[in-house]
A and B are shown apart, each in its own frame.
Chain A
Amino acid sequence: MLRFSSVTYSYPYAAEPAVRDVSFTLAPGEAMLCTGRSGCGKSTLTRLANGLAPHFLRGNLRGEARVKGERTLDSTPAQLAEQAGTLFQDPERQFFALTVGDELALTLQWRGWDAERIREAVAESARLLGVEDILEHTVFGLSEGQKQKVALASLLALRPGLLVLDEPTANLDPESIAELADTLAALKQRGVALFIVDHRLYWTRGLVDTVLVLDNGAVAAEGDFSLLDDAPLREKYGLRAVDVPDPRASLPHMPRLESSDFFACEDLTFAYPKGGQVFENLSLSFTPGRVTALVGENGAGKTTLARLLTGLERPQRGKILAGKEAVKTRALARHAQVVLQNAGHQLRMRSVAAELDDAARGTVPERDRPSVARAYMEDYGLDRLARRHPQSLSGGEKQRLAVACAAIRGPRMLILDEPTSGLDGENMRRMAQSMRRAAANGACLLVITHDLEFMHPVCTEKLVLPEHTGETRR
């Protein structure tokens, strides 16, 4: 179904090839996992498989990639998509229509299918992925798991023989990951070949037949899944764990304190203007040096709590206290910081050094700023990148820089929203180190994460938000 023969590919203007001399074969009904540290060339393989490289991205290709026996060079990406559907990390970014039904039909419409055929294909793929009840829903109101399913259904409407999945679990919670694994297993049973690129490994055990470990663009190791049981190999290539315990049940609850002279909220009541009540009389007290996992179902209000505690939302009632003093919503950024899921939005200066200097403005005396910024760069492993433009950094580097920028302001409360989404094992461990350091420096950390592998060694306790009740169990 998919065959790479001595493929070497360089992006235009790049000094070195992104992948070099890669060969493998994937038969119908087989699944292959490709992993490796960030920037090792995994995503480039997906772009070679779906024809975006070199048709769309240009560059220099040697060797050949074939999909269903046809050279990818001989077909356009749109033609190849009929044989090889590609699922991106963030499905929302690949939606073009505004409702689920339209999204499933759009690709077929664009290809000139007649209305009856479209209806049949949409109904079949919607049934296969279990999204037939949400065909009228807007694509933007779906959960991440549902978006993933809709994107998959849209690909399957073309009935491709190969699915190329680029970090499909990066935004999913453990339950949605398990569902995705089941869906993919069912597709594999139907003869669909799967080429999966991911940092998270544990969910592919039992699903994939072959594992390809890439390093610096070349195949470093190849074998069945048991290859990844080798801990030194995982360490060497910056990979994540293969067995991940679920710490959500075993983590102790955040202790209930009557009051805190560090950081607290009292009787917070909040409802969105057109939504239901999210919190009613919520009181929480936080202690310094702790890393608390904020746990709850989708819609429980995890992000809303983070926004309230950092002043991005104003509660209808109640107050937030820093050192027993009630702080106005507008002034909360001085005491509480949040690193948003999309760290790139928080970076605005021309270099990493300038970014930290700017973040320290107003909280660190001007004469100390350069030395403090330097110290943070060293602590967070950013010193080699001091002159790089923040927007040119990799995802992991951006995340670390955003955390450093938040920490340099010396907040009492530091909240991180999915800080490890899309990070490889090495960067995930660096992030864990950064968070422990911030906690050791006296901040209280609240982490919103679906990443069990990250939660397990980093979080010391949990705060559970039950769905829709507005109550908080501690």
Chain B
Amino acid sequence: MASEFAVEMRDVVKRFITPEGNEMAAVDHVTMQIKNGEFFSMLGSSGCGKTTSLRMIAGFEWPTEGEVYIEGNAMGHTPPFQRKVNTVFQSYALFQHMTVYQNLAFGLEMEGAKEDEIKKRVGRALEMVQLTGMDRRRPRQLSGGQQQRVALARALVKTPDVLLLDEPLGALDLKLRKEMQLELKALQQQLGITFIYVTHDQEEALTMSDRIAVMSKGQVQQMGTPVEIYERPSNKFVADFIGESNFLEGKIKSLSKKEASVFIPGLNVEVTGMPISEGMVKGEEVVVSIRPEKIRIADKDTKSNNMFRAKVTNTVYIGADTHVYVDVHHTKLKVLEQNRISRLDPKSFYVVGQDVWLMLMPENTLVLKKD
């Protein structure tokens, strides 16, 4: 074990020439350290640089600047077939002219493994992804979920140090995708190898990952555990991209080391005891981020701190939750209420036009720098 990090990207830049002839940085000074045995996700919408980053680790692309390290070794222009990483492709990229067995054996034959060893390892890999008995089928004769498993087994049979997964579940239907998420996570823990997972699906990333890098425009916006990313987004982009948030303009009235009083003109309230990040000053214009599920709603004024009146403008029932849209001095807010009780009786819930009281818990809000 050469290095603490399975994969490291140091200040990596990848520039492409667009069809219009302009230079564009798909990956713009990205630095990431991915620990051994970690389930690491790169999360972002399309064009954020996550797939290009993955392809540079796999060796399909070479960085324009910076360096990729695998197990502490600088990769330079090492071709993919000399890297101890394997990829599960978004399109699966299965060899249609080979059987399932031949697909799995391909990588082992390239290593020069003996036939009986290949047989043993392929058998074990198929068992691992629950495809025993399918070895003589052609990929086209399998369902999408089964093909996905073949792609996974074909990469895992090589026993790589690092497994790279490029939106591997994107083509599956929702239910199967959720099953596979848990299965992948279990597999990763069982094998103890490093998974680097590219996805645009935040729920998928939150479900499986030990750590997530949220990416946008070729840059890492934030790196952290799922809880850190959701509860303490470091900027407005992350707060907006992961989950939902109400964003309100505010101004810092007074502040101590870790807390501030912020006046929110839209609501005409001053919220005290809000957690802040470093480098903020008194009088600074800020953005207050409040998650819809973190606003308490009540039909009576309980005279607590940080409580204010609002009017219900709309309610949307979506099964597990109800979205309540309210208006406070012409500022619109979204509040999420869990349906802990049956809403069959219309009187059991708020109606449009009703006055309600909202309560903010300062520790559940976030003060972010204005972009």
Q: Do A and B come from one complex?
A: no
User: Which residues of A does B touch, CB under 8 Å?
Assistant: none
User: Residues on B close to A: CB < 8 A?
Assistant: none
